[in-house]
A = this chain, B = another copy of it.
């Protein structure tokens, strides 16, 4: 079974956003992602991101001439890719182990940050006004979600499910886990995520048991 708590691979506990060994540009992106996680899009200001990254404010517009939309988009993209890599790795061991790892990832984050954290990608999805300049941000969010659905769907297909069902289940897993994160934020504990995880586990076992029964007579 995959070690499902190698949380550092996706989100290091000591984020290098103020580690001067990392170049300032990446520090800014990491700081933006961390702030999105806790405060949401509109409460994440360029000034505070720069301060958190220990970079001068002027540098922000040097590295990101597109301004805040570009900075946020890159933060969403980076976070999305990190999660996508994690999902690809963990779901390679099968949907069941993948789900456990997926849940464990977010559970750890919620616990570390006292349920004051969330997912940067969903923060942007929930908070953007979908105006003119927000288009690149929304595009980054949509791309991240697609990149998450891929490994989940592949894993379910490999396990024997039809493609259409696998795609639907992948969407459900992502929606349910992300929704549970919101519930946890509101309630201040991880109960909702635990309950959702248990039901999703039962659901997967059920779906895959049907495949096994049909596949080996």
Given A141-B186, A182-B126, A183-B125, is A40 in contact with B41 using a C-beta cutoff of 8 Å? yes
Q: Within the complex, which residue of B126, B171, B177, B185 is in contact with A185, where a contact is CB–CB below 8 Å? A: B126
Task: Scan A138-161; emit 1 where CB is below 8 A from any B CB, else 0.
Answer: 100110010000000000000000
Report copies per complex: 2
Instruction: Find out whether the CB atom of B182 lies under 8 angstroms from the CB atom of A122.
Output: yes
A164–B172 CA distance with the chains assembled, in angstroms:
22
Most buried by B among A38, A125, A167, A175: A175
The reply to whether B125 and A127 form a contact with Cβ atoms under 8 Å apart is: no
Contact mask for chain A residues 177-217; partner B; CB cutoff 8 A; 1 contact, 0 none: 11110110111100110011011100100100000000000
CB-CB under 8 A from A126, the residues of chain B are: 40, 118, 122-123, 126-127, 182, 185
Instruction: Assess whether A199 is in contact with B142, with CB atoms less than 8 Å apart.
Output: no
Chain B nearest Cβ from A35, distance in angstroms: 10
Closest chain B residue to A180 by CB distance?
B175
Residues of chain B with a CB closer than 8 A to A85's CB: none
Q: Does A111 contact B (CB under 8 A)?
A: no
B43 touches A198 (CB 8 A): no
Compute how far the CA of A188 lies from the CA of B138 in the bound complex, rounded to whole angstroms.
9
Q: Determine if A175 and B192 form an interchain contact, defined as CB atoms under 8 angstroms apart.
A: yes
Q: Which residues of B contact A174 (CB under 8 A)?
A: 179, 183
Question: Could you say which residues of chain B place their CB within 8 Å of the CB of A187?
Answer: 142, 145
Q: Give me the interface of A with B, judged by CB distance under 8 Å.
A: 38-43, 116, 118, 121-123, 125-130, 138, 141-142, 145, 167-169, 171-172, 174-180, 182-183, 185-188, 191-192, 195-196, 198-200, 203, 206
